[in-house]
Amino acid sequence: MGIKFLIFVSLLIFGNVSSSSRENSFVVSSENTRTVRMVNEYDLPEVFEMDINSKIANNFATTLVTTKVRSRGIAAKETTFTVVLPETAFISEFIMEVGTKRYRAFVKETEEAKNIYDTAVASGRTAAHVSISARDSNKFTVSLNVEPHLRVMFLLTYEEYLQRKNGQYELVLNIHPGQVVQNLRVKVTIKENRPLRFVKTPSIRSGNEIGKEEDRLNPSADIRLLNSTMAVVTFNPNSEKQKQFARYLGTKQTNGLSGQFVVQYDVERDSAGGEIFLQDGYFIHFFAPTDLLPLSKHVVFVLDTSTSMRGKKLNQLKNAMKGILKQIRNGDKVTIIEFETNVKVWNVFSRTATIIDRNINYSDPFYKLSRQNLPLPKEFNGYVLKKTQKVVDAMVARGATNIIAALETALYVIKADQERSAMDNNKKHQPIMVFLTDGEPNGGISSTDKIIEVVTQLNSQNNKVPIYSLSFGNGAKKDFLRKLSLKNQGFWKHIYEASDASLQLQNFYKEISSPLLTSVKFEYESEVKEVTVTEFPIYFNGSELVVAGKYEDLYFPPTVRCVGPGGPTTLRPTILGKPITQLERLWAYLTVKQLLDRRNSAGNNTELTKRVVDLAQKYTFVTDVTSLVVVKPSGNSVVEIESASVAPVTFLSRFGFGSVNDDETENEIEPETEAPSLLSVLPWLGSVLQTNETITVGPNAYELGNNYNTNTEVECPKTPVNTTEPGICVLLKDCSEVYKDLKNFQTYQSYFCPVDTKYAGICCPKE
């Protein structure tokens, strides 16, 4: 029997997808028919091995998921390989190994990939087409017919930049094999240039809801800190443990583990100018200051209370708001605006609302709003908190969804409050708008494009207030809300309609609750080009600003200018030597992500689409506008075939993985390459030391020379101990008296000297 490939990507909503949906039936697809038959779960092909191997370097994660399947019984069986991907991840490689042949997918522009697929199908050849139909699609599925006793191996590689939130990076690995797996292995290797602050693995998550930390869902993962900058996390639940996790997560035990294994970590960082890494003409700048006081803020909550919010959703919103209000700091301001057919601006003291004319929109809506006596916010305290909580309790769902009137009103309230504060010489409050809706606009303006146009134009009068949009449940128009936020310096997030919706809302607010800087702009004086976004409206505590680009002749720390509301500030970021990850690929990932955001918010996106396609094809990223295509060859074909016995696989090696058939051993983890005593007294050395025991100073690399001895005595101008007296240039290992004065790599560079032209030395006191 021939092999039939069917590859598709479907939209996953965690609250609606469960591995148990396959326990009694599955779909067998052919060219002309589609039938469903009942089967015993033991008739399904066996997933006998699943290996998830993730490597993190400089916050960039590359994950290889290897699944090995064999057919049971005497008849051919339909098998499915499914991986649930993070929303921010790009698929970069997919391979199927069937029998002795290996089939590799190629990244093509979406239309071209579809044409290749259609041509192959028309000619009778087996083919597969993989595309992402929407940005939040994150379920990758491959189905094929497996002949009796045949073994199949699937290999999927995906990449993602781990965005820092709430003071940590978080890697989420979805495990959904659909059955108990004999050999289930998860390995996460973290290699950072900067020392690790912590590494931890919280409780296994269901993937459907955010639950409380429970001891019975503790993965008991093995966390090994190999040195100050490197850790290895392993998770190898046996069959019984997989069944236990399934029971605690509320799924059928025979379906095995269906949940999320999470690794959280953070690194130490420069508190002022950030850190810069340089590599082969590329740079990346990380900026996450921690010693700043939170800015005072004016938070405007624009909340949908239309008829569709009636019942459970409105109760969840109320519970969430009560938790959020408790996070508001004294001295901040809060405005509550609810909208349905009408718009209500609440006066929390009198617990009365000013109802806005539902048809305020015309050429100058601010003029009409200025004719109404709208309540303006006052600074928050315990008394205001109690009054505001009662206002939230009084909300009732009714009417239509008048989005345009609500947003116009919110922008006017912010503008009026800023003008009043300026006249009274009061301290400035950073405005932040949180806009939540569960439906489509059906009051006022119904065109979402027109709403975005009007709101963006009005917002320009407010110096661009960040608008953070929340889509609540399945009825909201996610694309509209995403575009609205992108146009107005905010971001969009989806709130799943589940029992934990209140907790999702509170966790979202936590991300934006502590603004530290506004109007941040990085200006690089050095020769740089093709730089990613350099202007950021707000920097929040616990997050991180990242800029990447190309440079020429950049050997020493560049000057970076941070332009904020207090005027320009000159920063001197610390250069931490060469990064562990491949900067070119990280730059490409960030560039493609930002181009996609610009494309989604732009009206004419032809040029942006072309740039995304070019970069995605060059770096093999599956995006909104590119797809994977696999065609079983017949003569000339777009797919390459390799013998399954050939190793290593070079196209996986470029992601840092070796042979797909070889288990990684501890020998592949680089041990500490410097003497333990040297690392213990100079911890910064671990962040700049390369795997070949060299460090880069200026344009050259120098060996540490741990096993080298020199008898030459070359005088040097000054030492860390006495900056007025000359010293002798010796190997770093031979001058322990200066260790206490070498606080960081930048200080070391001030007293660096080369020993015998190739070794890293230090100017050591003569006595």
Three-state SS sequence of 338-405: EECCCEEEEECCCCEEEEECCCCCCCCHHHHHHCCCCCCCCECCHHHHHHHHHHHHCCCCCCCCCHHH
Write out the two tokens for 640: 């390459």
* Burial call 439-474: b when 16+ CB within 10 Å, e when fewer: bebebbbeebeebbebbbebbeebebbbbbbbbbbe
Does residue 204 sit in the same domain as residue 336?
no
At residue 312, what is the residue type? K
Phi/psi of residue 175, nearest 5 degrees: -120, 110
Query: Structurally, how many domains does the chain consist of?
Result: 4
Q: Which residue has the tokens 């100018």?
A: 273
CB 152 within 8 Å of CB 29: no
- Beta sheet of 528-529, edge-to-edge order: 528-529, 545-551, 282-287, 275-279, 574-575
Calpha distance 75→71 (Å, rounded): 8
What is the model's pLDDT at position 390? 92
Q: Which residue has the tokens 């009662």?
A: 390
Q: Tell whether 671 is covered by a domain.
A: no
What is the model's pLDDT at position 225? 93
Q: Tell whether 669 is covered by a domain.
A: no
Q: Which residue has the tokens 């007293």?
A: 751
Does residue 283 sit in the same domain as residue 389?
no
Does residue 429 sit in the same domain as residue 503?
yes
From 61, 168, 283, 160, select the one nearest 543 (Cα to Cα): 168
Enclosing domain of residue 240: 5-268+619-657
Does residue 280 sit in the same domain as residue 397?
no
Does residue 288 sit in the same domain as residue 301?
no
Tally of CA atoms within 13 A in the half-sphere of 726 that contains its CB: 7
CB 727 within 8 Å of CB 765: yes
Q: Tell whether 304 is covered by a domain.
A: yes
Q: Tell whether 666 is covered by a domain.
A: no
Write out the two tokens for 505: 């809302």
Q: Which of 490, 513, 536 is the last residue of a domain?
A: 513
Does residue 331 sit in the same domain as residue 452?
yes
Calpha distance 340→305 (Å, rounded): 6
Q: Tell whether 612 is covered by a domain.
A: no
The rounded average pLDDT for each run of 10 residues, N- to C-terminus, in the chain (767 residues) is 37 28 26 37 75 94 91 69 82 82 72 64 52 49 69 89 94 89 94 93 77 74 93 94 88 86 91 81 88 90 93 90 92 94 91 78 76 87 92 92 93 91 81 92 88 91 86 86 92 82 87 89 82 92 92 64 68 78 91 89 79 87 75 41 34 53 37 48 76 79 80 85 85 86 85 88 87
| Cα-based angle 674, 679, 680 (whole degrees, multiple of 5) | 145
Does residue 316 sit in the same domain as residue 217?
no
What is the model's pLDDT at position 650? 41
Calpha distance 86→546 (Å, rounded): 20
Write out the two tokens for 691: 């795997």
Q: Tell whether 376 is covered by a domain.
A: yes
From 29, 258, 263, 13, select the one nearest 136 (Cα to Cα): 13
Does residue 166 sit in the same domain as residue 66?
yes
Number of Cβ within a 10 Å radius of residue 635: 5
CB 470 within 8 Å of CB 505: yes
According to DSSP, the residues that pair with 619 across neighbouring strands are: none
Write out the two tokens for 581: 């990850």
What is the model's pLDDT at position 113? 63
Does residue 487 sit in the same domain as residue 522?
no
Does residue 505 sit in the same domain as residue 543?
no
The whole-model pTM stands at 0.75
At 9-18, the pLDDT tens digits run 332 322 222 3
From 423, 545, 414, 428, select the one nearest 467 (Cα to Cα): 414
| Helical segments of 58-173, H only | 110-122
Does residue 504 sit in the same domain as residue 363?
yes
The domain that holds 417 is classified in CATH as 3.40.50.410
Q: Tell whether 662 is covered by a domain.
A: no
Calpha distance 315→309 (Å, rounded): 9
Does residue 723 sit in the same domain as residue 641?
no
In eight-state DSSP terms, residue 307 is G
Q: Tell whether 15 is covered by a domain.
A: yes
What is the model's pLDDT at position 667? 32
